[in-house]
Structure 1
Amino acid sequence: MTPTARERPQMYVADFEELSLRAPETVTLEFLYGKIGAKPVPDGDHSQIIMWLIRQCIQQRPDLNLFPEQGLKVETYRHGRVKPDGVLAPEEHFTGQGEYADPDGVLMTLEITSWDRDTDQRDRKEKPRAYAESGIPVYLLVDREQCTVTVFSQPENGRYSNTHIADFGNTVALPGLGISLATERLKNYVR
C-alpha cells in the first residue's frame, strides 16, 4: 500500500542523517514522525538543570551515566532520529555506536522544555509517544513553563501507561531506577 502525501516523510532517514552531520554546531536537528525539527540552543538555566541531574544520577547510581545529547533511533521501526537532552544508560553503553544509537538498554530519556513554540508538540506529545514506541522504560520531562516534572513510565502498546506529574518542590521517584529527585532547586531555573 502506497503512503498518502500526509504519511510520506519529508525525506529518507539516510538523507536526514547526512544533513544532520553537516548542520552547524549551533543547530540540533531531529527527525520525528517524518518531519524535520530544530531544537533551540540551550540557555544557561537549561544547562544548569542538565548538570544538576547528572550529579543526582551519579550520586545515587554510580553505575549509570546521564549522557547529554546522545542521539537515538526512536519511533516505530526506528525511523525517527532524536537527540534527547539526556539519556540514562549503563556506563559503557554507547561505546562503539554511531551518532544515533539503538535505544535497547536505555533506561530513561530526559527532555527539558525550551522557550520556543514547538515545545508543546515536540516534548509533551511526540516524544512521549516515540520513546514509548521504542520501549524506553522512563521518560522524564522537566517543564520549565508549567514548573512541573512529569515522569512517564511503563511503555505498553506505543504509549506510557503511567504518568506522574509533580510541581517543582516535590520529591519525584524514577520508577525502577532507584533515583529520587528533590526538585525544589528547579525553581531557580525558570523565567
Structure 2
Amino acid sequence: MTVAQSEQTEVALEEFEAFDAAAPEGFHVELINGRVLVTPAPDGDHDENVMSVGDQIRSRHPQLRMYQERGLAVPAYRAGRARVDGAVTPVGYFRGQPSWSDPAGVLMVVEVTSGREQDAEVDRIDKRDAYAQAGLPVYLLIDRHRGEAVVHWDPENGHYQHASTAAFGAKLALPEPFGFDLDTSELA
C-alpha cells in the first residue's frame, strides 16, 4: 500500500469522519492509532491474494466468508477505523451493520502489503498492534515485499501471543477456529 500520513500526531474521530467523507473515489482512508492513512485502491495481484485466502477458508469452512475492503471500528486506546483487505466472519455477520462495523464477530483480519517497502511497516506493525488491541483473534499478513505469509493469534493485553511465518510456496498452519494449512503457493 502507498501510505500518506497526517502530520498531526493524533486526529479526532470527528475530523477523520469529515476527511473520509471528502476523500476522492479510489482512495481508502483509515484512522490507525490516531493517524490518518490514505491508500490507493488495490492492484490485481493484491486482490488475487485476498481471494486465494478467502477461497481456501470457504472450501474448508462453508459457514464462513471473507469480506473484502470492509470497514471496522478498531477501538484500541485511540478510536480507530480500518478498511481491512479481508474480514473473516460467519455468513451474515455484517448484515445490518454500518460502514464502520463492530469487529466483535470477526474471526480473522487479512492484510496484503502493496506499494513501497517502507509503507509495508504499517501492515507489519501499526495494524498488527491495533488489531491485537481491539482483540481480533487472528491477523494474517500476506507480505509481498518479503515473500511470506505471517499469522498472529491469541491477543492478550494488546499484543498477539503467537506468530508463525511461511515463505510463499510453503504451507502455513492457521490456528483454530480455522485449523488447516494455508497453501501459499498461489500468493505473489
- Normalising by structure 1, we get a TM-score of 0.88
Is the deviation greater in 31-40 or in 136-145? 31-40
> Are residues 1:34 and 2:60 paired?
no
| One-letter amino acid matched to 2:181 | S
Query: Following TM superposition, by how much is the alpha carbon of 1:18 offset from its aligned partner in structure 2, in angstroms?
Result: 2.9
Is the deviation greater in 53-62 or in 117-126? 117-126
2:123 matched residue in structure 1: 123
> Are residues 1:159 and 2:159 paired?
yes
Structure 1 alignment gaps of length 5 or more: 1-5
Matched pairs, number: 181
Question: Hey, what's the Cα distance between the residues in 2 that align with 1:153 and 1:13?
Answer: 28
Query: Following TM superposition, by how much is the alpha carbon of 1:117 offset from its aligned partner in structure 2, in angstroms?
Result: 5.1
Question: Hey, what's the Cα distance between the residues in 1 that align with 2:171 and 2:54?
Answer: 17
Higher Cα Rg: structure 1 or 2? 1
Listed one character per residue, the Cα deviations across residues 99-138 of structure 1 (whole Å, up to 9, x for unaligned) are 1111111100000001235533310111111000111110
| One-letter amino acid matched to 1:119 | D
| One-letter amino acid matched to 2:83 | K
Listed one character per residue, the Cα deviations across residues 34-67 of structure 1 (whole Å, up to 9, x for unaligned) are 1111123211111111221221111111101100
1:184 matched residue in structure 2: 185
Question: Hey, what's the Cα distance between the residues in 2 that align with 1:75 and 1:165?
Answer: 27
Question: Hey, what's the Cα distance between the residues in 1 that align with 2:77 and 2:101?
Answer: 13
1:3 matched residue in structure 2: none
Partner secondary structure for residue 116 of structure 2: coil
2:140 matched residue in structure 1: 140
Question: Hey, what's the Cα distance between the residues in 1 that align with 2:8 and 2:28?
Answer: 24
Question: Hey, what's the Cα distance between the residues in 2 that align with 1:179 and 1:138?
Answer: 14
1:175 matched residue in structure 2: 175
Question: Hey, what's the Cα distance between the residues in 2 that align with 1:7 and 1:73?
Answer: 20
1:87 matched residue in structure 2: 87
- Normalising by structure 2, we get a TM-score of 0.89
Question: Hey, what's the Cα distance between the residues in 2 that align with 1:171 and 1:90?
Answer: 24
| One-letter amino acid matched to 2:67 | F
1:101 matched residue in structure 2: 101
Query: Following TM superposition, by how much is the alpha carbon of 1:173 offset from its aligned partner in structure 2, in angstroms?
Result: 2.0
Consecutive aligned runs of 4 or more in structure 1 exceeding 6 Å deviation = none
Identity %: 39
Partner secondary structure for residue 28 of structure 1: strand
Question: Hey, what's the Cα distance between the residues in 2 that align with 1:7 and 1:19?
Answer: 14
Structure 2 alignment gaps of length 5 or more: 1-6
Question: Hey, what's the Cα distance between the residues in 1 that align with 2:46 and 2:152?
Answer: 20
| One-letter amino acid matched to 1:97 | Q
State the superposition RMSD in angstroms.
Answer: 1.8
Question: Hey, what's the Cα distance between the residues in 2 that align with 1:117 and 1:25?
Answer: 24
Does the CA-based 8 Å contact 2:169-2:183 persist in structure 1? yes
